[in-house]
Amino acid sequence: MDNINREYIDTYIQNLIINEDEKLEKFREYCESRGLPIIHKEVGQFIKLTINQLNAKRIIEVGTNVGYSSIFMSQVMKNEGNVVTLERSEKFYEEALKNIIDFGLEKNIEVIFGDAAENLENIEGTFDMAFIDAAKSYYKTFFDKCCKMMKPGGIIISDNVLYQGMIATDDLVVRRKKTLVRNLRNYLEYISHDERYITSVLPLGDGLAVTLIK
């Protein structure tokens, strides 16, 4: 998995993090061996901090993949909260369901199959936190829809927003990624300049945008 920081810095930071659940750590290693795009360890630690700071009990996630981050966030909430997560790949959707059952969290995590841009409209209730980690070109769409469901003072976290450093400098942009880079840059400007939000972009993992909903 690509990371925007120097390798020795990443290694040092990750070595500071205590692995509290052996089964989850083995699941991480399995996902990494398959090259699956799961959250970086330091990103997970920041999410853990945020969940505890908010005392979050309801989280909406855009982009389930095989369920690692949903399981991680549910465990951070001590399996007492609720995660609603959306996945458009049928393969990953089915795999996520099996993994969630394997961790005994089927009552805590609801996986919705289909396009998030459409299905977010049908989700009821309010949420303490949102985690966006799906199609990068649609981050603004996902953000706006999640924003409508957030409680005042809620946090929206957007992952991989610096995209291998391409967002920060044209020198790294490859031709086939130009549209994605343009959309992500527009997204970061939007959440950073709109007075309704307070956003901090952090060089964690592949870039993390943390937005407070006033």
> Tens of pLDDT along 115-129?
999 999 999 999 999
First to last CA, the chain: 33
pLDDT tens-digit readout, 79-103 = 899 999 999 999 999 999 999 999 9
pLDDT of residue 131: 98
- 108 pLDDT band, cuts 50/70/90, is very high
Q: What is the mean pLDDT of the chain?
A: 94
| Long-range contacts of 141-145, Cβ-Cβ distance < 8 Å, separation of 24 or more | 141/117, 142/62, 142/116, 142/117, 143/187, 143/191, 143/211, 145/116, 145/117, 145/120, 145/121
The DSSP output letter for 158 is E
Closest CA to 77 of 100, 99, 59, 95: 59
- Tokens matching residue 47: 């999410």
- The reported pTM is 0.93
Confidence of residue 5 (pLDDT cuts 50, 70, 90): low
pLDDT digits over 58-79, tens only? 999 999 999 999 999 999 999 8
Q: Quote the CA–CA distance of 67 and 93 in Å, as a whole number.
A: 8
Look at residue 19 and tell me whether its pLDDT is greater than 90. Answer: no
Instruction: Express each pLDDT in 149-187 by its tens digit.
Output: 999 999 999 999 999 889 988 888 888 889 999 999 999
* Residues in Cβ contact with 63 at an 8 Å cutoff, skipping those fewer than 6 apart: 85, 86, 87, 116, 132, 133, 134, 135
Query: Distances in Å between the alpha carbon of 47 and those of 77, 98, 158, 161?
Result: 11, 24, 11, 15
Which two three-digit tokens encode residue 37?
A: 């795009």
